[in-house]
Amino acid sequence: MATAVQTEEKKAPARVPASEWFVYLNGAYILRKDAMIHFSDAGFNLGDGIFDCLRTARHKPFKLQEHIDRFYRNLKYARIAPGLTPDEMTEICLTVLAKNIPFMAEHDDCWIFMRATRGSGERGPKRDFDWPYPLKQHPPTVMANCTPLNFPPMARLYREGRRLITSSIRAFPAECLEPRLKSLSRQHFMIACAEVEKEDPEAVPLLLDIHGNVAEPYGANIFFVRDGELMTPSPQLALEGISRQTTIDVAREQGIPVHEGNGYKPYDIYNADEAFVTMTSYGIVSVRSLDGVAIGRQCPGPMTMRLLRGFGAKMGIDLVAQAESHLS
């Protein structure tokens, strides 16, 4: 009996619900359930804010510096002054992670989110009840939080691949919204998701640009393989994903040619040898089908698996094994 108890105790700590995890909000570390933003916040009212997110690998942040750099490039472009230096934001992300690590089991990992909005004049000392126009320097709203990664669906994705459906909603042309911007407003993506969900609740929309060129799926970048070479839409059409760059680095290190283009069509993906999507949480997941058309002869394909292993090696984990370990 004593042995059984000891074995139980040796196990990783019990999971604490995410509502009890710590978040950083405007200078304080508080419980997520107590974190409130003002109802007149620009993020809530206008979708006017920037975010970024990374994940941990064995409880260590992966590519934190790259995510901080992208966050600050985007804040600068959006003319949002977060009132914190990149080093201070890095420290906040590390502190919020350190506060939440005790809530994670050993084989768990988490997202780390950072967000900054143009804030709310009603929160400032001057009590400005006007809309948060860019040229007025309201106190920004800045937050950072951790969220547990949800591994069981990821394990299924690694095995079965992602189904994509071309959406009628198009990606913003760069003349309207810079594709590299990781803006809080995901409205067009959400409408695209709602549209696709009717057809296949587990599929994800693939957005084309206004000329019908492949841009990006919701929340991910896309690659396809043709004759041993990798193709991916350029950052003129899609977010400069950090996982996209990691994949390009892994491919080049393995001697695989990578092409970034602006003129790939769904036709190219239907006829690819393999296709896959990249994002922070899962790294690389194969595309099983686009619009119901099966991609390649095998899913996941051999190049996808090779790159996924290389991706995991950069993180110091076996991504598939970690996700699978959450199934039992």
Ligand X SMILES: Cc1ncc(COP(=O)(O)O)c(C=O)c1O
**57 forms part of the interface with ligand X (CB under 6 A):** no
Tokens of 71: 């966050």
Does the protein bind ligand X through residue 50 (CB under 6 A)?
A: no
End-to-end CA distance of the chain: 24
Q: Which of 83, 173, 219, 261 binds ligand X (CB under 6 A)?
A: 219
Question: CB-wise, 123 or 222, nearer to ligand X?
Answer: 222
| Cβ atoms of residues 147 and 16 within 8 Å | no
Piece in contact with ligand X (CB under 6 A), picked from 76-84, 159-167, 213-221, 292-300: 213-221
Helix (H, G, I), strand (E, B) or coil at 224: strand
Exactly one of 100, 120, 243, 322 binds ligand X (CB under 6 A); that residue is 243
What residues contact 93, with CB distance under 8 A and at least 6 apart?
54, 61, 64, 68, 112, 114, 144
Q: Give the shortest CB-140-to-ligand X separation in angstroms.
A: 21
- Residue 244: name the closest of 255, 234, 256 by CA: 234
Q: What whole-number distance in Å separates Cα of residue 59 and Cα of residue 243?
A: 18
Choice between 75 and 123, CB closer to ligand X: 75
**Which residue's CB comes closest to ligand X?**
241
Question: For residue 270, which of 294, 241, 245, 299 has the smallest C-alpha distance?
Answer: 294
Contact between 239 and ligand X per CB under 6 A = yes
Residue 279 interacting with ligand X (CB under 6 A): yes
Contact between 280 and ligand X (CB under 6 A)? yes
Smallest separation, CB 244 to ligand X (Å): 6
What is 147-167 written as a DSSP string?
A: EE--HHHHHHHHHH-EEEEE-
Q: Is 148 in the site for ligand X (CB under 6 A)?
A: no
Q: Contact residues for ligand X (CB under 6 A)?
A: 216, 219-221, 238-239, 241-244, 278-280
